[in-house]
Structure 1
Amino acid sequence: MDQAVYENLSHALSSNQSVRLTAEARLKELEKLPAAINLKNYVEKHWSPLTDKFIGPEPDFEIKAVVRELAFNGLSDPSSKIRVASAYVISKIASNDWPDHWPDLLDLLISQLKSGSPDQIHGSMRVLNEFFKHDITEQQFSQVTPLLLPELSKILQSEGIHSYRTRGRAIAIFKQCIEILVMLKEEHPEAIEPFLKPMLPEW
């Protein structure tokens, strides 16, 4: 990190405008990264007494609301590293707060998927990718998939708009959905068919 800061400070003094502007943008990114890392550590240690790493104190409701907003805004950041860090923080918060204490999270993520912004789409998909890695209840899954899968399908089919990485992530999230469906089918086969029938032909 120190070497990167030194190099970009040097480039920021360049007489070449392109080099200078690139270095200035990179310095702004480097300023944000420690803040994103600190936020990640804060959430892991202080967010909820239900987590393994909790050491307290737990923040009050108002502080949690501010942190949620900051983390979500990070999903739109021009820096992919900031978006990835923000997505990790949101997924950690969501594992404790969604849907009871952050009921509009899913709507916010779907809205970003519909935005057409590559940064916002990437950020939201990183959250969803992390989200499905954690335990998810049948009720939560039934809330997420009807809204999510149509948007993932649109992204997958938009070859000229979205990069192969973004479209590949849409497939990865769909695969996670199928794996969860397979697990749920063993206990509730009658509840799974409504999900599978309409979506499998399209995919």
Structure 2
Amino acid sequence: MIKDEIVEAVRNLDEDLVLNLVSQAVADGLTRKEIIRYVILGMNEIGILYESLDYYIADLIMAGCVFKSVLNFFDDLKQTGSSLTATERTGRILIGTVENDIHDIGKSIFTNLALTEGYEVIDLGVDVKPDRFFEEALTTKPDILAMSGIISNAIKSMTETVNLFKKNFIRNDFKIIIGGLSLSDDLLNYIGADFATKSAETGITKCNEWMREKNGQ
């Protein structure tokens, strides 16, 4: 099956084969959403291989390049959320990698999953200071704020960002999700976020749940 072939090619970091299979999948009538999910399944397997020490940092970097190549193939994918009307959108997500952290693979995966689910996504990029999150939240009024970070200092940046929202009485205007870090319930409560996960798909599932609750569904 094309799904299994894409997953295996991604796992093997075979960029040329991945792009050929993606092209074939499009020709076979598969949707962008289906194809991106197959690629993410392969990325998840790479994560498992990294945790088992079978893959290294260089392999993660290569995996990020493979994923970005697939996104470039769907060069109009980033317009999915913004092209929808307000009534058609699932919701609005403000996202960024926190201050002093420049990792963006997980953020890119989450962002593109969100786009395929019909969200409008405002991506602030990497090394985003608390003040920038605050200013953008005031301007864009998101339903969900997503903060990404994998280094230990990210905890400090996330906490400072949430505290800034609390100080200005807008913390309860939106849900906050954290991605990348492994957090205990106590640490999550300390930061002041609503949910934390290392899985982009789990994160999107939680966002969808929040939006259903917000819309009374």
Q: Which has the higher contact order (CA 8 A, sep 6+)?
A: 2
Is the TM-score greater than 0.5? Answer: no
Q: TM-score range by the shorter chain?
A: 0.3 to 0.5
Structure with the larger strand share: 2
The TM-score with structure 2 as length reference comes to: 0.32
Greater Rg over alpha carbons, structure: 1
